[in-house]
Chain A
Amino acid sequence: MWVYVVKRIFLMIPTLFGISLISFFIIQLPPGDYLTSLLASMSDSGQTIDPAEIARMRATYGLDDPMVVQYFKWISGIVLRGDFGYSFEWGRPVSDLIWDRMGSTLSISLAALVFVWAVSLPIGIYSAVHRHSVGDHVATFFGFLGLAIPNFILALTLMYVSYKYFGQSVGGLFSPEYIGADWTWGRVWDLFMHLWIPIVVIGTSGTAALIRILRANLTDELSKPYVVTARAKGLSEFNVVMRYPVRIALNPFVSAIGWVLPNLISGVTITAIVLNLPTAGPLLLRALVSQDMYLAGSFILLMGVLTLIGMLISDVLLALLDPRIRFT
Chain B
Amino acid sequence: MPMTTQTPSATALAKPTRAQHDDLVSAAASAPVLSVRGLSIDFHLRTHVLHAVRDVSFDLFSGQTLCLVGESGSGKSVTARALLRLIDPQAKVSGGSITLQGPDGELRLDTLAPNGREIRAVRGGRIGLIFQEPMSSLSPVHTIGSQIVEALLLHRKMTKAEAKAETVKLLRQVEIANPEQMADRYTFEFSGGMRQRAMIAMALACKPDILIADEPTTALDVTTQAEIMDLIARLQRETGMAMLMITHDLGLVAEVADSVAVMRWGRVVEQGPVDAIFHAPHHPYTRKLLSATLRLDTAAKRTAPATTGQPLLSVRGLCKGFGTTNWRGQQTFAIKAVDDVSLDLWPGENLGIVGESGSGKTTLGRMLLRIIEPSNGSILWQGNGQAAEVTKMQRPELAQYRSAVRLVFQDPFASLNPRMTVKQVIADPLIVAGALKGAALEARVGDLLELVGLERSAMERYPHAFSGGQRQRIGIARALALDPRVIIADEATSALDVSIRAQVLDLLLDLQKRLDLSFVFIAHDISVVRYFCDRVVVMHKGRIVETGPAEQICTRPAEPYTQSLISAVPNPDPRNRRMLHRTRFGA
Among B121, B139, B155, the residue within 8 A (CB) of A230 is B139
User: Is B202 within 8 A of A233, CB to CB?
Assistant: yes
Is B358 an interface residue, CB under 8 A from the partner? no
User: 1/0 per residue A199-233: CB within 8 Å of B?
Assistant: 00000000000000000000000001110111111
24 A-B pairs within 8 Å (CB atoms) are namely: A225-B136, A225-B137, A226-B137, A226-B138, A229-B139, A231-B86, A232-B84, A232-B128, A232-B129, A232-B203, A233-B123, A233-B150, A233-B151, A233-B202, A234-B121, A235-B120, A235-B150, A247-B139, A247-B141, A248-B139, A321-B141, A323-B141, A323-B188, A324-B188
Is A244 an interface residue, CB under 8 A from the partner? yes
Q: Give the CA-CA distance A244 to B125 in the complex, in Å.
A: 20
Is B30 an interface residue, CB under 8 A from the partner? no
Name B154's closest neighbour in chain A (CB-CB).
A234
The residues of A that contact B188 with a CB separation of less than 8 Å are: 323-324
User: 1/0 per residue B137-155: CB within 8 Å of A?
Assistant: 1111110000000110011
Q: Give the CA-CA distance A323 to B155 in the complex, in Å.
A: 28
Q: Which residues of A contact B (CB under 8 A)?
A: 224-226, 228-237, 243-244, 247-248, 321-324
Q: Which residues of B contact A (CB under 8 A)?
A: 81, 84, 86, 115, 120-125, 128-129, 131, 133, 136-142, 150-151, 154-155, 186, 188, 199, 202-203
User: Is A236 within 8 A of B138, CB to CB?
Assistant: no
**A321 CB to nearest chain B CB (Å):** 7
User: Is B123 within 8 A of A234, CB to CB?
Assistant: yes
User: Is B115 within 8 A of A237, CB to CB?
Assistant: yes
The number of A-B residue pairs with CB atoms under 8 Å apart is 72
Of A228, A234, A248, the most chain B CB neighbours within 10 A belong to A234
The residues of A that contact B125 with a CB separation of less than 8 Å are: 234
Of B125, B141, B150, B154, the most chain A CB neighbours within 10 A belong to B141
**A221 CB to nearest chain B CB (Å):** 10
Q: Give the CA-CA distance A237 to B123 in the complex, in Å.
A: 12
Q: Give the CA-CA distance A236 to B118 in the complex, in Å.
A: 11
Q: A229-B131, A231-B86, A324-B188 are in contact. Are A236 and B139 (CB under 8 A)?
A: no
The residues of A that contact B122 with a CB separation of less than 8 Å are: 234
Name A232's closest neighbour in chain B (CB-CB).
B129
The residues of B that contact A224 with a CB separation of less than 8 Å are: 136
Name B324's closest neighbour in chain A (CB-CB).
A328
The residues of A that contact B186 with a CB separation of less than 8 Å are: 323-324
The residues of B that contact A324 with a CB separation of less than 8 Å are: 140-141, 186, 188
The residues of A that contact B140 with a CB separation of less than 8 Å are: 226, 248, 322-324
Of A224, A230, A243, A248, the most chain B CB neighbours within 10 A belong to A230
Known: A228-B137, A234-B124. 5 other contacts (CB 8 A): A230-B139, A233-B124, A233-B151, A234-B122, A234-B155
Q: Give the CA-CA distance A224 to B133 in the complex, in Å.
A: 10
The residues of B that contact A232 with a CB separation of less than 8 Å are: 84, 86, 123-124, 128-129, 203
The residues of A that contact B120 with a CB separation of less than 8 Å are: 234-236
The residues of B that contact A247 with a CB separation of less than 8 Å are: 139, 141-142
**B408 CB to nearest chain A CB (Å):** 28
Q: Give the CA-CA distance A67 to B188 in the complex, in Å.
A: 54
The residues of B that contact A322 with a CB separation of less than 8 Å are: 140-141
Q: Give the CA-CA distance A208 to B133 in the complex, in Å.
A: 35
Q: Give the CA-CA distance A183 to B203 in the complex, in Å.
A: 59
Q: Give the CA-CA distance A321 to B150 in the complex, in Å.
A: 19
The residues of A that contact B139 with a CB separation of less than 8 Å are: 226, 229-230, 244, 247-248
The residues of A that contact B133 with a CB separation of less than 8 Å are: 225
**B154 CB to nearest chain A CB (Å):** 5
Name B134's closest neighbour in chain A (CB-CB).
A225
Name A321's closest neighbour in chain B (CB-CB).
B141
Name B116's closest neighbour in chain A (CB-CB).
A236
The residues of A that contact B202 with a CB separation of less than 8 Å are: 229, 233
The residues of B that contact A321 with a CB separation of less than 8 Å are: 141
User: Is A228 within 8 A of B86, CB to CB?
Assistant: yes
Closest 7 CB pairs of A and B: A234-B124, A225-B137, A234-B123, A232-B129, A233-B124, A234-B120, A233-B151
Q: Give the CA-CA distance A228 to B138 in the complex, in Å.
A: 10
The residues of B that contact A231 with a CB separation of less than 8 Å are: 86, 123
**B155 CB to nearest chain A CB (Å):** 6
The residues of A that contact B86 with a CB separation of less than 8 Å are: 228, 231-232
Q: Give the CA-CA distance A322 to B125 in the complex, in Å.
A: 29
Q: Give the CA-CA distance A213 to B481 in the complex, in Å.
A: 42
Q: Give the CA-CA distance A235 to B155 in the complex, in Å.
A: 10
Q: Give the CA-CA distance A231 to B140 in the complex, in Å.
A: 16
The residues of A that contact B151 with a CB separation of less than 8 Å are: 233-234
